[in-house]
Amino acid sequence: MSTPAPLHRPPRRRLLKAALADLLPASVQQALALLRSVWQRWFLWVLLAVLVLGLLVTVVWLAGRHEAEQVQAALDRDTADAVADLRSGLQRNVQSLQALQAGGLDSDRWSTDVTPLMRGHREWLRLEWRDAALHTVAVADTPYHVRVFDEASRKAAQGEIESACADAVKLNAAAYSSSHYVPQPDNRGLEVMELCVRADGGGYLVASYALRDMLTELVTPTMRRGQEVSLTEPDGTRLASIGTARRAGSRVFTAQQPVELPGATMVLRVDGWRGAPDVFPNLLTGLVTAMSIALVSVLVLLASDTRRRLRAESELADTLAYRKAMEDSVITGLRARDLRGHTTYVNPAFCEMVGFSAEELTAVEGASPYWPTELAHEYERRQALRQAGGVPPREGFESVFMRKDGSRFPVLIFEAPLINAHGTQTGWMSAFIDLSEQRRIEEISRASQERLQASARLATVGEMASLLSHELTQPLAAIASYASGSLNLLQDGADAHPHSDAAQVAMAVRRIAEQADRAGQVIRSVHDFVRRRDRTREPVAPQALVEAVLPLVRLQARKTGVRIDVLIDEGLPRVFCDRTLVEQVLLNLARNGMQAMDLPELRSRVLVLRVTRSPEPPADGVAPDARRWLEFCVADVGSGIADEVAAQLFTPFFTTRADGMGLGLSLCRTVVEQHGGALLFEPNHPRGTVFRFTLPVT
Ligand code: ADP
């Protein structure tokens, strides 16, 4: 039937594992197994912790970045505003210059016109009025500075001025020169930018801006502290800057914006600093961080809570297992029922008691399968009473249950309400004790009690028999001697007339003497038997035993219409026995057989007495070659023996007859067994019973 297993290679991983297991020492393998179990247990937690940590770091980083972006955006806005301020300031200055020449330029009024203007524009170092050929007509220097320019430096700047003015002509508007450096005596120097505005009458007004002052006057008011504002060339070369020097440990944000002026292009650069460490820069990040810490704390609490729960769970499981073990090992049956009477739980002891499985018992609704059918109604009534609130007796009550095989057994039931943790009744709990064993023991003790009484009666009987034998021996002896005396007297007449009455009387008297003698012997043997003296055993021919009881048997047979068949095998040896007792056994068995055939419907009533060599060794197992046996057999065709009678046939005082004593068979067996033989019985064919017993050959 079995098909060959499909050939498939074991997975390489498993092979590797097996090879590794062979290679590694046991301690390392144990450590690995421990590591694996710890890893399996903690894997999810580690994963969760890593994820949460990753999430928190990301959130904090994003918050920081968001804030930096905001700072950068604000700086960009500030820078754009500053450029706009610068442009509008420069534009206003151009307008001031144009306003200066509104009333016409006059070298006499120059100084009075220009001085208030110079006071209002601190960013200007000098204002020059130049003619069309760019020769200086009038000059005014700022009062806020030590003198910056001299002849040489103005000459050096001539190129710048020319290009600015050329642009102004070209654009027909104010134009600027690129910045140029004006060295100072203290080696510091200044970056200066020229503004050229065309004046009426073909001249020019040239204003020299100090770039640093330009920033101070036109840009600074709008800028915050903590920022450095610079003007640079498009290539990044720094021209002028104002503001705070960079603080150590702070982060720098930079924004740049081109400042395109007619004739010149510069870049306004603003550097902003932010103090404090970057990781906790502001409220948002702080909040996120606080929440992260809270989250981690919750995680830790959760982990410890889970550990506590796991421990509680395992303790609970242990307790449950312990309870279950207790319920399973207890020998009292336990059963729980709900308020409707449905069985919800049974323990193994109960299942074993009734022979049903727990599933079979809990599956059924209504009448339980272990209720005997004839009592089911009463039990249902009892259950209804219980459901109606009837309280069961505290000391328990007895009942009868039925096993799965149909046999009934007595149980003692203790019932109590099943109260749950909230104090409400959810059903009934019952405990059962199987009383069968107890009943059996009670029965045995009752039987032994009876047997004891029987033995006591037997002893009394023995006592009486002994007394009787003593009392009867003398009258019997007297009868015997009177009989022999009478016999002697009759003998003479009988001899003379053999067929006369006297001869018959003599015969009768002889029989009287014989019987009196026999009765004496019987009484003596009973006396011996009771007294337990060594009985006299002797070799006796089986023939003699049978013939001794035949007259009595025939006497009874005639009364009941029974035919007696005697079959004794030829050449049988003699048996070694107490002949009186064995005769009594034969007599008892024959009498029992005849009584069993005393049935009105029985036509032919035959009692067979047979003596043969025993084909088998006796039942007590003595070796067959050690002794030879004769078998005595008494067979009737009577009522036969029913099984329940057969079970107690040899029990003293057991009888089915109204006038019976119930001692016959029990005594017979004792006698036969005392001789070493066995008394057995079996059904006769076609009907009736055969009793056989064996006796040892001499
Ligand atoms: P008793 O004869 O006083 O009743 P026994 O011990 O001799 O006492 O017999 C016990 C019972 O055994 C009898 O009551 C009878 O029912 C049964 N019994 C004995 N011998 C036979 C037999 N041959 N056939 C049927 N029943 C018998």
CATH number of the domain located at residue range(s) 446-534 in this protein:
1.10.287.130
Substitution candidate for ligand 1 out of 588, 609, 655, 680 with most atoms within 8 A of CB: 655
Distance 257 CA to ligand 1 centre (A): 139
Substitution candidate for ligand 1 out of 665, 671, 681 with most atoms within 8 A of CB: 665
Q: Pick left, alpha or beta for residue 586 (phi over 0 → left; psi -120 to 50 → alpha; otherwise beta).
A: alpha
Domain ranges in the chain with CATH number 3.30.450.20:
330-434
Q: Whole-angstrom Cα distance, residue 198 to residue 166?
A: 10
- For the Cβ of 257 lying below 6 angstroms from any atom of ligand 1, the answer is no
Closest atom, ligand 1, to C-alpha of 593: 23
User: What fold does the segment set 330-434 form as a domain?
Assistant: Beta-Lactamase (3.30.450)
- Could you tell me the two tokens for 374? 């004839």
- Could you tell me the two tokens for 30? 């144990």
pLDDT tens digit sequence for 165-215: 999 999 888 999 989 988 888 778 889 999 999 887 788 999 999 998 888
Give the β-pairing of 563-568 and 606-613. parallel
- Could you tell me the two tokens for 533? 């003296």
Q: Is the dihedral of CA 306, 307, 311, 317 positive or negative?
A: positive
Question: Over 60: is that where the pLDDT of 681 sits?
Answer: yes
DSSP 389-426: TPPPPTT-EEEEEE-TTS-EEEEEEEEEEEE-TTS-EE
Q: What is the mean pLDDT of residues 663-672?
A: 88
- Could you tell me the two tokens for 24? 């590694």
pLDDT tens digit sequence for 126-156: 999 998 888 888 898 888 888 888 888 888 8
- For the Cβ of 639 lying below 6 angstroms from any atom of ligand 1, the answer is yes
Say which residue, 458 or 257, is predicted with more confidence. 257
pLDDT tens digit sequence for 487-506: 888 877 767 776 777 778 88
Mean pLDDT in the chain? 84
Say which residue, 614 or 205, is predicted with more confidence. 205
CATH number of the domain located at residue range(s) 536-696 in this protein:
3.30.565.10
Say which residue, 74 or 280, is predicted with more confidence. 74
Q: What is the mean pLDDT of residues 6-22?
A: 63
pLDDT recorded at residue 277:
47
Distance 643 CA to ligand 1 centre (A): 13
Distance 232 CA to ligand 1 centre (A): 145
CATH 3.30.450 fits 77-274, yes or no: yes
Q: Whole-angstrom Cα distance, residue 420 to residue 442?
A: 40
Domain ranges in the chain with CATH number 1.10.287.130:
446-534
The residues, ordered by sequence, that sit 6+ positions from 321 with a Cβ below 8 Å of its Cβ are: none
Q: What are the angstrom distances between the C-alpha of 676 and each of 615, 619, 628?
A: 16, 10, 12
Substitution candidate for ligand 1 out of 592, 602, 651 with most atoms within 8 A of CB: 592
Among the listed residues 603, 618, 612, the one whose alpha carbon sits nearest the alpha carbon of residue 633: 612
Domain ranges in the chain with CATH number 3.30.565.10:
536-696
Distance 601 CA to ligand 1 centre (A): 19
Question: Over 90: is that where the pLDDT of 589 sits?
Answer: yes
Q: Pick left, alpha or beta for residue 654 (phi over 0 → left; psi -120 to 50 → alpha; otherwise beta).
A: beta
Contact indicator for 225, 204 with CB cutoff of 8 Å = no
Q: Whole-angstrom Cα distance, residue 33 to residue 31?
A: 5
pLDDT recorded at residue 176:
94
Closest atom, ligand 1, to C-alpha of 638: 24
Contact indicator for 661, 655 with CB cutoff of 8 Å = yes
Q: Quick one: pLDDT band at residue 45, thresholds 50, 70, 90?
A: confident
pLDDT tens digit sequence for 288-308: 778 878 888 888 898 888 899
What is the arrangement of strands in the sheet containing 606-613, beginning at the earlier edge strand?
Answer: 563-568, 606-613, 629-635, 689-696, 679-683
Contact indicator for 687, 635 with CB cutoff of 8 Å = no
Q: Whole-angstrom Cα distance, residue 583 to residue 590?
A: 10
Contact indicator for 313, 296 with CB cutoff of 8 Å = no
Most trustworthy range by pLDDT among 82-91, 101-110, 621-630: 82-91
Q: What is the mean pLDDT of residues 97-110?
A: 84
CA 382 to chain CA centroid, nearest Å: 36
Distance 537 CA to ligand 1 centre (A): 28
- Could you tell me the two tokens for 161? 């001025």
Count of positions (residues) in the chain? 698
Among the listed residues 73, 104, 71, 264, the one whose alpha carbon sits nearest the alpha carbon of residue 174: 264
pLDDT recorded at residue 232:
93
Q: Whole-angstrom Cα distance, residue 191 to residue 176?
A: 14
DSSP 602-619: ----EEEEEEEE-SS--T
Q: What are the angstrom distances between the C-alpha of 341 and each of 45, 369, 382, 383, 649?
A: 48, 13, 11, 7, 49
Question: Over 70: is that where the pLDDT of 11 sits?
Answer: no
Q: Whole-angstrom Cα distance, residue 585 to residue 590?
A: 9
- For the Cβ of 652 lying below 6 angstroms from any atom of ligand 1, the answer is no
Q: Whole-angstrom Cα distance, residue 153 to residue 197?
A: 21
- Lowest mean per-residue pLDDT among 91-100, 421-430, 507-516, 561-570: 507-516
